[in-house]
Structure 1
Amino acid sequence: MPIKKKQSNEGDNSIRLQIIPQPSEASTKLNGSGGSFFEPRAEGSNRSNPTSTEPRAADSQYRNFWDKAPEKKLTLFALRLAVLEKAASGLGALGFIWATVVLLGGFATSMVNKDFWFVTVILFTEGARIFSRSHELELQHQTTWTIADAGKHSLRAIASSSRFFMRVIKAIFQQLSAIKSENQLQKHITDDIQMIAHTPVLPHTGQQTWISSDVTLMLYTNWVVLSKNISRVLYWLQLLSAVACMTLSLMRLVQQNYGEDQPGTENRKPALNLFYGLALAEALMFLLEKAYWEWTISICKLLEQVKQECEFGTADIGIVPIKRFLYDAYSSCINGSVFDGLKMDLVSFAGELLDSDFHDEQLIGLQILQKFAKSDRFSSDTLRKIGTSTSMMERLIDMLSWKNPAKEKIRRLAAEIVSKLAGKKQNALRVAGIPASMECVSSLLYTGRKLDNKPYEIWGRDIVADQTNYEFSAFNLLGLLILKKLANDHENCWRIGNTRGLLAKIIDFTSTGEQLLRNDHATESQIKAVKRSLQVAKKLVSTTGETGKMLRREISNIVFTVSNIRDILEYGENHMLLQMQGIEMLTSLAMDQDAREKIGSTGGIIRLLLSIFFKPRLTQKENKLCVEAGETLALLTLESMQNSKHILNEKGVVDQLVDLLTDPVLQINSSRILRNLCAYSGSENFFCLRGVTVAAPTVLHSIMVEDGKLLQESIGLTMQIFRFMTPEEQDKELKRACISATNFAKKLLEILEKYNAPCVKVPRIRRFVIELVIWLMKSHEKYRQLFRKFEMDRAIKSVAETTSELECFPVFSGSIGLNRHDISLSSLADVALELLMNMKSKI
Structure 2
Amino acid sequence: MPRRRKLVNDTWWAEVETVNHYALFMGYLSMAVNGMGFLVLTWTTVVLLGGFVSDLHNKDFWCLTFITLVQTAGIFDVFLTEKLNYIGYSFLGFASVGYSAQRDKSKCLGALSMVHVVLLGILLCPLVVVYNCGLFISAGISVWRLIQHDYHADGVRNLKQALDVLYYLALLQSTIFCYKCINGFAKGFIVNSVAQSGNFDEQSRAGISEYLLEMMAGCQKDRMYTRGRNLITYAVDLMGSKSPDDYMSGLRILDTCAVQMGSSHESGKGYLQWNTLKKHLIMSVSSPNILPKLLQTLGRISIYDRETRGHAARVVASIAHDIHLEEFPGGIRYISSLIDTFEKYHVLQPYEANWLYEKYCESYEEEREQIFREERHGKKLKVHAAQEDSNADLLKDYADLVAQGFLILQKLATNHDNCKVMLGTPCLLPKIIAPVTADLLHPLRGDKNVHINHDAWYRILEGSLRVIVQLTAATGETGSTLRRKISSRKDAIITLDRILECGQCNENLKKKAIWILTHLHEDASWTPEPKSREKLIKNLVEIMAGGDKHEDATRVIAANALLDLSSRTKADATIIMKANDNVVDSLKTMLLEKRKYQSITAEILEYICIHYTDDDEILKKLKEAMADAVPKLFEEILCWATRKTHTRVQVGQLLPAETHRGIHVGQVSSLEEIHRGTEAKQTSLTIPENDIENQPGYSQGNGQSINSSSSQDKMNKHAVVRKLSLCVTVCDTFFGACQFDAITKGDGSFSFPMKLKLIVKKCTHPRPDCLRILKPTCKMIIWMMKHRNYGDQELKTLKDALCSASEVMFLLDSSMVFDIRNDYATTTKPFRSLDSLLNEAHVLIMNQLLSLDSAPDRV
TM-score, normalized by length of structure 1? Answer: 0.54
Matched, 1:698 2:608: no
Q: Return the match for 1:330 from 216, 219, 223.
A: 216
Matched, 1:610 2:538: yes
The residue type equivalent to 2:133 in the other structure is: L
**Structure 2: how far apart are the matches of 1:233 and 1:496?**
64
Q: Which has the higher contact order (CA 8 A, sep 6+)?
A: 1
SS state at 2:496 partner:
helix
Structure 2 contact 145–167 (Cα < 8 Å) conserved? no
**Alignment deviations for residues 332-354 of structure 1 (CA, whole Å, 9 cap, x no partner):** 244x3455467754443333323
Give the corresponding residue for 1:86: 34
Structure 1 residues 85, 114: closer, same or farther in 2, change over 3 A?
closer
Q: Return the match for 2:441 from 500, 511, 516.
A: 516
**Structure 2: how far apart are the matches of 1:508 and 1:232?**
72
Give the corresponding residue for 2:171: 284
Structure 1 residue runs of 5 or longer lacking an equivalent are: 1-58, 144-156, 173-191, 193-217, 220-229, 423-427, 680-685, 723-733, 774-785, 834-843
Shift of 1:619: 0.5
Structure 1 residues 136, 816: closer, same or farther in 2, change over 3 A?
farther
Q: Return the match for 1:567 from 470, 473, 495.
A: 495
Structure 2 contact 420–478 (Cα < 8 Å) conserved? no
**Structure 1: how far apart are the matches of 2:151 and 2:514?**
98
The residue type equivalent to 2:234 in the other structure is: F
Structure 1 residues 232, 387: closer, same or farther in 2, change over 3 A?
farther
Shift of 1:625: 4.4
**Equivalenced residues, count:** 616
Q: Return the match for 1:576 from 484, 507, 525.
A: 507
Shift of 1:69: 0.9
Bigger proportion of residues as helix: 2
Structure 2 contact 436–465 (Cα < 8 Å) conserved? no
Q: Return the match for 1:399 from 286, 291, 294.
A: 294
Shift of 1:78: 1.9
Give the corresponding residue for 1:731: none
Give the corresponding residue for 1:293: 180
Give the corresponding residue for 2:133: 239
**Alignment deviations for residues 479-524 of structure 1 (CA, whole Å, 9 cap, x no partner):** 555666788xxxx634543443489489537726544156655432
**Structure 2: how far apart are the matches of 1:65 and 1:303?**
18
Structure 1 residues 318, 824: closer, same or farther in 2, change over 3 A?
closer
SS state at 1:70 partner:
helix
SS state at 1:351 partner:
helix
Q: Return the match for 2:235 from 333, 337, 350.
A: 350
Structure 1 contact 609–629 (Cα < 8 Å) conserved? no
Give the corresponding residue for 2:652: none
Structure 1 contact 538–581 (Cα < 8 Å) conserved? yes
Shift of 1:474: 2.2
Structure 1 contact 353–364 (Cα < 8 Å) conserved? yes
Give the corresponding residue for 2:484: 557
Structure 2 contact 207–253 (Cα < 8 Å) conserved? yes
**Alignment deviations for residues 255-314 of structure 1 (CA, whole Å, 9 cap, x no partner):** 4469x99xxxx89x95x996x77874575355324421343234xx35404531552675
**Alignment deviations for residues 567-622 of structure 1 (CA, whole Å, 9 cap, x no partner):** 1331343223311232134445555433xx44x33863531431442467240736
Structure 1 contact 613–626 (Cα < 8 Å) conserved? no
Give the corresponding residue for 1:379: 271
The residue type equivalent to 2:26 in the other structure is: A
**Structure 2: how far apart are the matches of 1:806 and 1:583?**
35
Q: Return the match for 2:24 from 76, 94, 101.
A: 76
Structure 1 residues 767, 247: closer, same or farther in 2, change over 3 A?
closer
Shift of 1:90: 2.0
SS state at 2:486 partner:
coil
Give the corresponding residue for 1:820: 827
**Structure 1: how far apart are the matches of 2:243 and 2:487?**
43
Structure 1 contact 538–585 (Cα < 8 Å) conserved? yes
Structure 1 residues 102, 569: closer, same or farther in 2, change over 3 A?
same
Give the corresponding residue for 1:473: 399
Structure 1 contact 122–245 (Cα < 8 Å) conserved? no
The residue type equivalent to 1:570 in the other structure is: R
**Structure 1: how far apart are the matches of 2:559 and 2:136?**
86
**Alignment deviations for residues 753-806 of structure 1 (CA, whole Å, 9 cap, x no partner):** 969999747989999999x99xxxxxxxxxxxx969869xx99xx9xx999999
Structure 1 contact 79–339 (Cα < 8 Å) conserved? no
Structure 1 residues 101, 510: closer, same or farther in 2, change over 3 A?
same
Structure 1 contact 415–478 (Cα < 8 Å) conserved? yes
**Structure 1: how far apart are the matches of 2:332 and 2:169?**
57
Matched, 1:632 2:517: no
**Structure 1: how far apart are the matches of 2:127 and 2:227?**
30
Which moves more between the two structures, 755-764 or 233-242?
A: 755-764
SS state at 1:567 partner:
helix
**Structure 1: how far apart are the matches of 2:812 and 2:151?**
106
Which moves more between the two structures, 569-578 or 365-374?
A: 365-374
**Structure 1: how far apart are the matches of 2:166 and 2:744?**
110
Shift of 1:383: 4.1
Which moves more between the two structures, 760-769 or 289-298?
A: 760-769
SS state at 1:69 partner:
helix
TM-score, normalized by length of structure 2? Answer: 0.53
**Structure 2: how far apart are the matches of 1:516 and 1:366?**
35
Give the corresponding residue for 1:316: 202
Structure 1 residues 378, 742: closer, same or farther in 2, change over 3 A?
closer
The residue type equivalent to 1:621 in the other structure is: H
Give the corresponding residue for 2:380: none
The residue type equivalent to 1:357 in the other structure is: K
Structure 1 residues 741, 355: closer, same or farther in 2, change over 3 A?
closer
Structure 1 residues 331, 644: closer, same or farther in 2, change over 3 A?
closer
Structure 2 contact 27–219 (Cα < 8 Å) conserved? yes
The residue type equivalent to 2:621 in the other structure is: A
Structure 2 contact 436–461 (Cα < 8 Å) conserved? yes
Structure 2 residue runs of 5 or longer lacking an equivalent are: 1-7, 101-111, 114-123, 262-267, 358-364, 373-387, 443-448, 592-596, 635-720, 746-750, 764-769, 844-859
**Structure 2: how far apart are the matches of 1:232 and 1:405?**
45
Structure 1 residues 541, 282: closer, same or farther in 2, change over 3 A?
farther
Shift of 1:103: 8.7
**Structure 2: how far apart are the matches of 1:474 and 1:569?**
27
**Structure 2: how far apart are the matches of 1:82 and 1:380?**
36
**Structure 2: how far apart are the matches of 1:93 and 1:388?**
48
**Map of 1:419-430 to 2, 5 A cutoff?**
none
Structure 1 residues 825, 576: closer, same or farther in 2, change over 3 A?
same
**Map of 1:739-750 to 2, 5 A cutoff?**
740=738
Q: Return the match for 1:621 from 521, 534, 550.
A: 550
The residue type equivalent to 2:484 in the other structure is: N
The residue type equivalent to 2:498 in the other structure is: E
**Structure 2: how far apart are the matches of 1:505 and 1:767?**
51
**Structure 2: how far apart are the matches of 1:510 and 1:480?**
11
Give the corresponding residue for 2:247: 362
The residue type equivalent to 2:550 in the other structure is: K
Structure 1 residues 442, 567: closer, same or farther in 2, change over 3 A?
farther
Amino-acid identity (%): 12
**Structure 1: how far apart are the matches of 2:131 and 2:240?**
35
SS state at 2:17 partner:
coil
